[in-house]
Amino acid sequence: MHDYQTVIASAKKFIHDRERFYPSLVMSAVAIGFLVHLIVSGDSAGAYVLWLLAGCMTFFAIRETRPKPWKFDTVFAWGGLAVALAAAFLLPANAGNWALWIGVFALCVYCGGISMGVRLLLPALILCVVVPSSEFLYILLSFPLSKFCALLTVGTLRLFGVVATVDQAVIYIGMNRIAVTAACSGIELLEAMLLLGWLVVHFSHNKLTVRLLHYITLIPIIIFANTLRLTTVILLSFAIGEKAFGNGIHTALGYAVVILSIFLLLGVGKIFRSREGAVK
């Protein structure tokens, strides 16, 4: 009974906390709207992973942020709303999600202040722009990482005496052509690494800046792990032929990339924590 009353009291306190309650309503409405969109459109599993990532970011941002009212909060909010409306009417129709993102940010600033709006800026971007369009993630991360991985793989192969060249994200070995179509074994695994990496970083540190710096290290870690996977597959193909590119081996090594990336991220986290301890 006591626990039940405690939960009710906490809920009432949260509802009366305007700076946190109303931004949570805004983000919840956006999240539910895009979840319905995903279900109706039958989008890929990777989009649901990104939706979950945005949801986790939103929950902890609202839980941890202590809004600090500023006299220019309203000015920023109305200015953001004006920009969102201008973008909705002036930009092409396919840019409507960007206008929605700015509008959500403006509403969060109006309800919770600029500090709350800034904390919700990234999850709102993921919900409004990235989740509805897998092409955005491909252009932003997957294709550039594929090019880096292809370039590094060719350099690694040359260390083993293999004559190889690269053009964009395509590796040439003799008459053979190997296209690096994604930064890891399927776009869903890239999205899974973004979610798992964020969870590792979030629960490893208390300071937002340290979390951000630690999270950024996930990019070179992904490049290293995937380069190792590509090199292994190509060298293995010299021994067993086309079987090395079969779904079984390719998928198994893809999951190995995820596991290796998370362990490396945990290792980097220890370095960050040791530095934090030294600063204290």
Confidence of residue 4 (pLDDT cuts 50, 70, 90): low
Confidence of residue 242 (pLDDT cuts 50, 70, 90): confident
Tens digit of each residue's pLDDT (9 = 90 or more) over 172-224: 888 888 877 654 444 557 888 899 999 999 999 888 889 999 999 999 998 89
C-alpha distances (whole Å) from 164 to each of 152, 183, 246 are 11, 19, 21
Model confidence at 124: pLDDT above 90: yes
Q: Quick one: pLDDT at residue 3?
A: 61
Instruction: Report yes or no: 185 and 248 within 8 Å, Cβ to Cβ.
Output: no
Domains in the chain: boundaries: 2-132, 136-279
pTM of this prediction?
0.83
Confidence of residue 5 (pLDDT cuts 50, 70, 90): low
- Cα–Cα nearest to 197, from 253, 136, 150, 141: 141
Our separate counts of H helices and E strands in the chain read 12, 3
Spatial distance between the Cα atoms of 197 and 104, rounded to a whole number of angstroms: 26
Segment 51-62 shows an average pLDDT of 93
